[in-house]
Structure 1
Amino acid sequence: MLNTPGIPSVIRKRAQTPPHLRPDATTTARGPGAQDPEDLKTQQQEQKKKMETIYHAGDILEAAKVLDLNILRDTALLWIAEDFWLSPLPDDWEEAVTDEDHAYYVNAKTGVTQWEHPLEQYYKGLIHMKKGCQEEVDRAKMANPPSEGEVREMGDYFGVDLDAEPHCRHLLEEAVCMPLPPGWRDDEQSGNFVNDRKGITTTNHPLDPYFVESIRRMRVSVLRRTQPKKATSVEQAEAVSALLAARAEGKPPIEVLGLHPSANRAEARRRFRYLSLLVHPDKNASAGAADAFKVLADAYKAL
């Protein structure tokens, strides 16, 4: 949550206003009604193509559950669950695992420990936007455009200098026009936002985490285009080289991850998460990072 004391008056003003599972192996035995081998091959290729962006059904479905996505009604939004699973943790955050293989998160800088993934609220906000809120915000902007003063007040709230960061303006305008999500209300007496059904009270707008992370990602995107690439660490460079070499040597997926063939699924999962933090293009500026991450993801998918 933001450490800014109080809520800008502009927020008060506006706030009131399938599961993709791997197919079973299909028999190729000939007989009455049996599929032609060429048709079968084509069908398998099509199925593989449809699934090439799904790295492991169990992980994606687990991520969807965390984000409160309904895998039957929200099939079109499962890409958000996939992105959530693959996204590297923010700076200073690390993933740890209990003896029962439950993940939790530690901020190495502040010492904070929590069960909730640091980006969970951002992705829940993204889902909210994709489920119709974006259109609602766009209509509000057209009907009642935010004033310059409102946008700058929102910039102060989120720590954005509009003169230096004009690329963040559209996000601040959206924040000005953002209504409260369903189930939330602005309690004027206490000055807090309240969700009675969930029993939650907060001093910040419930969609603040979405805008905080959106602004951070916008800054990263601009820096990537305008600033010289930062040097990668020795560990990052070695991870990229190892993954690219594994692909060139044709190693089996489990060895691409640097694990012994006897490694179990939990070990593979932890290794994948560790390597993804080293080679993900958002964390690694080297030329081969994108290719290395694809090698890593393809290997994990193939397990």
Structure 2
Amino acid sequence: MSHGSSYPIGRSSVPPPPALSPGPARALAPGRPAAPPALRLLAAGVCCLLALCLVGVVFVWTQPGQWVDGLLLPRAERGGGYEQAGGLFGPATVVLRHFGQPAPLAVLLTAVLVVGLLGRRLLPGVVGVGMVLTAVLAAGVAKSALPRPDLAVPNSTTHNSFPSGHVAVATALALAFLLAAPGAARRWLVVPGAAGVSVIGAATMIAGWHRFSDVLGGVLLSMALFCLAAAALAARSGSDALRPLAGPASGRVRRALVEAAVGLVVLVWAVRLLVPGLAAELRWGPFLAVLLATASTMLAVGVAAFLIRSVEFVGSARSIDKYEQST
């Protein structure tokens, strides 16, 4: 009589699995191709035009919109205008008076051309200058053609000032520099450009020249022109294929959020430096209008730089073919 297991020890009765022979690698399913930059910019331009029309309809032709405009920027107690009493009225009028002169505008437009010429992007510089001039014309036509009905809203007038020509020109200038500058330099132009536009927008409201909706309309008008101009340049050059984006998408989004946060802090500091005593001199309504206009400007200029982040506006179809053959 034997005790213990009857199974053999030291070897297995199960035969080893057959050796796997390497087979052909299975191709992964193709990912969804990204939309061409020209198409993205065109879609963004259409969205900006729709937003411009929506802001105009709501704030100009509806009673709640006119009421919100009057709440943010109430009429002055004396004189019946929208100028805000305080120590900022004088500096605001000085800023607008100098910015509206032909000489400073000519200098800034020349600077756009110089930036484009130095970066071998003369055509984007010329398009940027044309964009600024178009913004001047479009804002003037819109203010003359659009009626502002009397909807029996307190503190509201029938004088139409939508959109702001000063803000449209300032925004178009900031975006024109983005068009003419190389891709690596665009992120450094966002904060100075947004700060300049914010100061002009704040000055127009403090001086009583424009309402909050006028400032927002001026920004949207120039954003629409910028997107359409950039779409035409991207479609013509086709250079977007020459500069693929590096790094994972999560890293790019994280970096964009950090840059946006830092840019917003720097922008607030720049506005406080350029317009000292802003909170102390203004009531809550105009102060809130200035903050909203500043945030809208920062968002618009930042989105513009993001939309053209991979587009250099140089090259041709031949250069794309050479790039594809080399890779």
Q: Give yes or no for TM over 0.5.
A: no
Report the TM range for the smaller structure's normalisation: under 0.3
- Greater RCO between the two (CA within 8 Å, min separation 6)? 2
TM (norm. structure 2) is: 0.24
Q: Which has the higher strand share?
A: 1
